[in-house]
Structure 1
Amino acid sequence: IMAQNGTPENGVPADPAALPLPQPCRITDIKHTKLFINNEWHSSAKGKTIPIFNPATGDKICEVEEADKADVDVAVEAARAAMKRGSAWRRMDVSGRGRLLHKLAELLERDRTLLAAGFPPGVVNIVPGFGPTSGAAIASHMGIDKVAFTGSVEVGQLIKEAAAKSNLKRVTLELGGKNPCIVFGDSDLQLAVQEAQKGAFYNQGQCCTAASRVFVEERVYDEFVRLSVESAKKIVAGDPMDPRTSHGPQINQQQFEKILDLVESGKREGAKLECGGHALQDKGLFIQPTIFSDVKDHMRLAKEEIFGPVQCIMKFKSQEEVIERANSTHYGLAAAVFTRSVDRAMSVSSALEAGTVWVNCYNALHAQAPFGGYKMSGNGRELGEYALAEYTEVKAVTIKLSEQLTL
């Protein structure tokens, strides 16, 4: 996830309207559907394929090769060979590796319209997803130093178990979250509404940092709900290939049904549906941006990771109360605090059990700042200097100096 707040200093015009509107990009030809192993395209060992559907239309796009255990073995052996002493990769100098990375960056830039389809304009978010089978298969075959995964807590548990059976190989796990967003009465309410909804509806809520628990101080609660509903009703849903769209479909039918089931649970358990709550159309996997108020801590909406466009707004009275409620979860990935008080911002940020805390903003992630979770939200850190440590072994060499040793 990359920061969305570009500035003139980093090349983004101060006025977004000054940016030229790109034309919708269409997928006309799928060139590669095979497994990419050892810099070559391969058919799967068992000839299995996975059908890929467009979630916006339900149309089948293509079929891609499905990797099995034998394919993973080949890939792992290729990785091991690449890391052996004397290999082409180990002999390549820094400038050579840099050229390859720059080439990758240029290719990503070339296809950014396709890669960013369905995301807010100007934002590219490329996050690898790993299912329980593929993640565990890779982890159980690890003969390499480090592997990083992004996925759910359930997937993370499988990976940790598999890694423990494989000579205790190290893994970095950035997993799920049920992230609290705390809005105090002294905050800039319009800003808090805007940022909280960015957190709730970004990528249709399919984001590990989603702001799915919004705690609002009692004295501004009603106004916050009113402004949030007004804002949600202005969100433009539609074709993710159209740059004017800011709300696209869910990723697949299974997730679509899970979200709607959680929405129904909210209605049954007594939360107040303020807007949305339904599928948008018969064709495609679109769900309306949905807001529930009067959400209670015991409800499924407040406990389970929804991974969908559902904003749960909850009321609190005191700072101590909201800190306790915010931390009352087995997750600990991200959190946010909205207040004009520096003292409150610092004290609450310190008390929250989360790897990342934003103050008066949301999803403001940068390559220089470490990112990762507390508790069941993961192990280790991505980004920043901390990420380099995850991929590095520190070696201590101790030499006893004596007259016999020549320097």
Structure 2
Amino acid sequence: MSAPVFKHTFDHAGYKGTVEVPVGLYIDGKWVNSVDKNAKTIPVVNPSTGEKLLDLPEGLEADVELAITAARKAFNEVWGLNTPGFKRGEVLIKVAELMERDADILASLEALDNGKTFGAAKGFDAAEAAACFRYYAGWADKVHGKVIEQSNDKLTFTRHEPVGVCGQIIPWNFPLLMFAWKLAPALASGCTIVIKPSELTPLTACYMTKILKEAGIPDGVVNVVNGYGPTVGNALSGSNTIDKVAFTGSTAVGRKVMESAAKSNLKKVTLELGGKGANIIFDDCNLDDAVRYAAQGIFFNHGQTCCAGSRIYVQRGIYDEFVKKFVQVTKKVQVGDPFAPDTFQGPQVSQTQYDRIMNYVECGKQEGANVITGGVRHGKTGFFIEPTVFTNVKPGMKIVEEEIFGPVVVVAVFDTEDEVIAAANDSIYGLASGVFSQNITKAHRVAARLHAGTVWVNCYNELHSQVPFGGFKSSGIGRELGEYAMENYTEIKAVHVRLTGYVGPVPPL
């Protein structure tokens, strides 16, 4: 029996039309249901209303094994080095073109099951995801080794070969964009994939299978298995027949993925994990720009961003003025229907996330911090939270140290450069930080001293396909994007060719 199809009619300013999305398990080019009779369905909820959108067919371990088998067969027969790099690049360009054609549909689906605004989903997520495929299309025929000169009687060179079959586990905060970040470099390198979307936000990954098929991706090259982390995710990370696993999500789950990978076949691992970004505002900054970037840095994507600037440190001389202006901007953030043109912040993704964030808000109050705006529910339905700003915060508070993953920010005061660098680096995380100063020497000096994989100077949340992204410390292992991501999906082989006869020491006969 074939898998069901989710049908939804959109009627908003950005897109009007009915979209059909096959849901279930996409294995070897076909949409199917689980082969395990114990498989059930997963309720997918509209976070704007709290109402169920669909029942998503669940995949289990047996389905993952079938998907891995299909991916291995495709790697050995129709993809990998069987398809020249320039041909892989042509297919990826076609994927990008089809994504741009269907940008309104992809953005609408993101807004529906994730809750992000249609405008952001189209202008950022869909656009950047397509750009990512186009960028890696250019890399597909540029992966090559080197000749290593040794002597006239020996040729030594390296080959950069695709890793093989990759398991990829993508999060719910940027479903489409993370699909592209994971898939594009893997396909460009010649790898085949079994991908697990978040069970909360499966729709764009499911729809993308239609685009991949139309673009000419052979059956079995990309397989999608929907399901829960403890079943499907663990089956991927713990598989003895997968060559690499890539995961984006929480640090706690990332540790489990790494442990599972180590206990199985010691497969290669890439982890993009949590963060607690420090945004440092010096008194010689352009204050209005700093305020706007700081607000965007925390409230973009409803605060559900691993690199969110959730700790703002402001130098004492401008602290009061910054807080005043920052609160004014925060109060202007439009919270509401993600399909409304003027909405900036939609709902949190789920009831669980809503409850988790509100628990942090209450914890902050109990620990003595001051809520100067927000901290309450927005509206009566859905998972909406008013943008929240805390002051009077101290080191050791949970809201200062732990990743909240919502529209909640702490604003602290500092006096000296050394003091703020120590505070910024006093975290288990090291994903991203920001520095605002008109003194370029100071900005460079501070950027060099921050323990973070990305440092934005006089800006925040600016991401590009050609620039690597990843974290220090508990924020992850490896880098995504840019040339660096290609290293995640290739193995380097050294080949030694002796051009003359035996030249080693003569063994005794």
Give TM-score scaled by structure 1 length. Answer: 0.89
Map of 1:41 onto structure 2: 31
Write the distance in 1 (CA, Å) between the matches of 2:443 and 2:66: 51
Write the distance in 1 (CA, Å) between the matches of 2:305 and 2:105: 19
What are the ranges of 5 or more consecutive residues in structure 1 without an aligned counterpart? 1-21
| Corresponding position: 1:100 with 2:100 | no
Write the distance in 1 (CA, Å) between the matches of 2:354 and 2:304: 11
The share of aligned pairs that are identical, in percent, is 46
Counterparts of 1:2-401 in structure 2, within 5 Å, are: 23-25=13-15, 28-44=18-34, 45-46=36-37, 47-84=39-76, 86-87=77-78, 90-116=81-107, 117=111, 118-119=116-117, 121=120, 122-124=123-125, 126-128=177-179, 130=198, 132-133=229-230, 134-141=232-239, 143-401=241-499
Q: Is the 8 A contact 1:76 1:142 kept in 2?
A: no
What are the ranges of 5 or more consecutive residues in structure 2 without an aligned counterpart? 1-11, 126-173, 180-196, 199-227, 504-509
Distance change >3 Å, CA 404–CA 163, structure 1 → 2 = closer
Write the distance in 1 (CA, Å) between the matches of 2:248 and 2:432: 15
Q: Is the 8 A contact 1:188 1:339 kept in 2?
A: yes
Write the distance in 2 (CA, Å) between the matches of 1:102 and 1:398: 36
Q: Is the 8 A contact 2:285 2:438 kept in 1?
A: yes
Distance change >3 Å, CA 271–CA 26, structure 1 → 2 = farther
Q: In the TM superposition, what is the alpha-carbon distance from 1:234 to its structure 2 partner?
A: 0.9
Q: Is the 8 A contact 2:240 2:265 kept in 1?
A: no
Give TM-score scaled by structure 2 length. Answer: 0.72
Q: In the TM superposition, what is the alpha-carbon distance from 1:100 to its structure 2 partner?
A: 2.7
Write the distance in 2 (CA, Å) between the matches of 1:309 and 1:365: 20
Write the distance in 2 (CA, Å) between the matches of 1:41 and 1:280: 39
Write the distance in 1 (CA, Å) between the matches of 2:313 and 2:380: 34
The SS at the match of 1:398 is strand
Q: Which amino acid aligns with 1:353?
A: H
Write the distance in 2 (CA, Å) between the matches of 1:217 and 1:88: 55
CA deviations over 1:185-208 (Å, ceiling 9, x no partner): 100111111111111001100010
The SS at the match of 1:191 is helix
**Structure 1, 31-40 or 262-271: larger mean CA deviation:** 31-40
Q: Which has the higher strand share?
A: 2
Write the distance in 2 (CA, Å) between the matches of 1:187 and 1:206: 27
Write the distance in 2 (CA, Å) between the matches of 1:302 and 1:68: 38
Write the distance in 1 (CA, Å) between the matches of 2:240 and 2:249: 18
Q: Which amino acid aligns with 2:106?
A: L
Write the distance in 1 (CA, Å) between the matches of 2:105 and 2:404: 26
Q: Is the 8 A contact 1:179 1:333 kept in 2?
A: yes
Q: In the TM superposition, what is the alpha-carbon distance from 1:362 to its structure 2 partner?
A: 0.4
The SS at the match of 2:455 is strand
The SS at the match of 1:185 is coil
